[in-house]
Amino acid sequence: MSSIDACLEGIAQANRRILAQPLERRRRHIRERTVRVIVPDLVTAFDMRLTVDGLTDVTPRPLDTPAADPQVRVTVSSSDLVDLAQDRLDPAKALFSRRLRVDASLSDLIRMKRLL
């Protein structure tokens, strides 16, 4: 199990990967979305916005705190979140093995795949 700080660093690492993409590519593939990363083993959710400026307003909160429904929901364990961010876990393998769950529209999934 990883800590909340390690998960925040993993999210920051994913943000750096997004920002490493050319702005024009980000504009083509990113539509502004609210995102929630649910980390059940830490009983925590990380709410944020995905924009052409990357992941913004990243806010951790306890899972039992009410919040508006996001447009994209990701569920992953803390250690898998860190492993994904550090490229030690392949996202496709994580999806197929159910270690990673993404609830989003098909168009959002296609856009995210093209960007990352």
Average confidence score pLDDT of the chain: 92
Could you tell me the pTM of the whole model? 0.90
Q: At what angle do helices 78-85 and 4-19 cross, to 10 degrees?
A: 30
C-alpha 45/C-alpha 28 separation (Å) is 28
pLDDT for 97 equals 95
Q: pLDDT-derived band of residue 110, with 50, 70 and 90 as boundaries?
A: confident
HSE-CB for 48 with a 13 A CA cutoff = 18
**pLDDT tens digit string along 27-40?**
988 999 999 999 99
Q: Could you tell me the CA-to-CA distances from 40 to 23, 28, 45, 49, 109 in Å, in that order?
A: 33, 33, 8, 20, 22
Is the per-residue pLDDT at 24 higher than 90?
Answer: yes
Domains and CATH numbers, the chain: 4-115 (3.30.1050.10)
pLDDT tens-digit readout, 59-99: 999 999 999 999 999 999 999 999 999 999 998 899 899 99
Residue type, 66: P
Q: Tell me: the pLDDT tens digits for 43-63?
A: 999 999 999 999 999 999 999
